Structure 1
Amino acid sequence: MAEPANEPVRADALRNREHILQVAHDAFAESGTTSLNAIAKRAGVGPGTLYRHFPTREDLILAVYRHDVRRLVDSVPDVLAAARTPLDAFRTWFRTLADYVRLKHGLGEALHTAAVQDAVNETYAPVTAAVARLLRACEEDGSVRPGLDAADTLLLMGFLWRVGPGEEGREQARRLMELAIAGLRPVPGAAGPVPGPVPGPGR
């Protein structure tokens, strides 16, 4: 009978955790060296509350990364609904992904651990599934050719988190994105995916 009484406490704790994660995301986006105490102050919670949720800096960084990826993956239906076309949704979603990856890279050595690699590996499948959903929507309206592989597309779009910072980098990313999208568009006269190389004699 005590379980219902615990529900508000759990809901409050969950809201606190989500709030801390969002504040930490914003703080890390500004500076990868932001301290946990500074994040606690910015979130309006005591250091003890933050450390209770995230005992170490790495725990917080990993939680922010997982939180960001989960939110991005879950956003696909909303992004598709809000965009003028599925291809616009594709552009918007990948720009957001690039922002998250750049943030992750900006945290430097804090992310070069086995635990982080495990987190990256565990989020790969959901991200690839989200890309596949975007590709299906684009394929259905004819803006990309059928049969594109989500993992290949994700790898192709990796240039987005390698461009430089600032407006110059953003402009380069826009140009490169349109070049990449041009390679995804339907091929005139082709009924399906672009065929691979034709084997030579004896192969």
Structure 2
Amino acid sequence: MRTDAARNRAAILDATRELIAEPGELKLSAVAKRAGIGQGTLYRHFATRDELVGALYEQEIDELVERAHLLLEQHSPLEALERWFDQLAGYARVKGGVINAVESSVWADISAHTHTKLGRALNELLSAGAAAGVLRTDLDPRDVILLSWFLAHVQPEEWDDRVPRLLDVLLQGMQSTGIRS
């Protein structure tokens, strides 16, 4: 991809990330305007709104996966998981907008493709924590995905107060201290 095309694609995805979190329907004309490009440029990259939103969702998942690897290189397993949960919370805000913006049949395709990647990243975090003796050994990635679904149900006005507390409860429940597994 040419440099200007890559720059335009990144600007489109950044604009979509910002706009999708706002109330109301995601309009492609608003995305183009926010990205500082013409609508023709937007349509050359993404022919439909579903295609655009799917690309944003996949990018978010890829960033979560990459973040898991980097965090494990830089931090203890427990701290890596805690920091990864912070990233997951930010992703959940985008995911809520994605779910609202995409047709249910398209969502099923997007979701099936990305859950495998997310599961691998979670498995790496959980395995490192279990090996270090700080996380329960009876957890698997699907457990964490199911437990973290609360993020999709937190209202925007309560996000800043409620999400850190709930993530802390989740993380404490995953720790091995006093747990027989």
Shorter chain as denominator, the TM-score bin is 0.7 to 0.9
Of 17, 26, 38, 2:18 maps to 26
Q: CA RMSD in A?
A: 2.3
CA distance in 2: counterparts of 1:118 and 1:31, whole angstroms: 24
Query: Alpha-carbon deviation of 1:120?
Result: 0.5
* 2:125 corresponds to 1:134: yes
Contact kept, 8 Å, 1:28 with 1:107, in 2: the verdict is: yes
The corresponding residue for 1:181 is 171
CA distance in 1: counterparts of 2:3 and 2:40, whole angstroms: 19
* 2:94 corresponds to 1:103: yes
Contact kept, 8 Å, 2:151 with 2:163, in 1: the verdict is: yes
The corresponding residue for 1:118 is 109
In the superposition, the TM-score normalised over structure 1's length comes to 0.77
Change (3 A) 1:34 1:111: closer
Query: Alpha-carbon deviation of 1:50?
Result: 0.4
CA distance in 1: counterparts of 2:43 and 2:162, whole angstroms: 40
CA distance in 1: counterparts of 2:179 and 2:55, whole angstroms: 47
Query: Alpha-carbon deviation of 1:149?
Result: 1.1
Contact kept, 8 Å, 1:104 with 1:111, in 2: the verdict is: no
Flag the structure with larger Rg: 1
Letter in 1 for 2:25: T
Greater length-normalized contact order (CA 8 Å, ≥ 6 residues apart) = 2
In the superposition, the TM-score normalised over structure 2's length comes to 0.85
Corresponding pairs, count? 181
Letter in 1 for 2:102: L
Larger helix percent? 2
Aligned residues: percent identity? 37
The corresponding residue for 1:71 is 63
Query: Alpha-carbon deviation of 1:137?
Result: 2.2
Deviations 1:96-138 (CA, angstroms, capped at 9, x unpaired): 2233233232356432321221010110111011111111222
Query: Alpha-carbon deviation of 1:162?
Result: 2.1
Q: Which runs of 5+ in 2 are unaligned?
A: none
Which one is further off, 15-24 or 59-68?
A: 15-24
Q: Which runs of 5+ in 1 are unaligned?
A: 1-8, 194-203
CA distance in 1: counterparts of 2:99 and 2:19, whole angstroms: 15
CA distance in 2: counterparts of 1:30 and 1:89, whole angstroms: 30
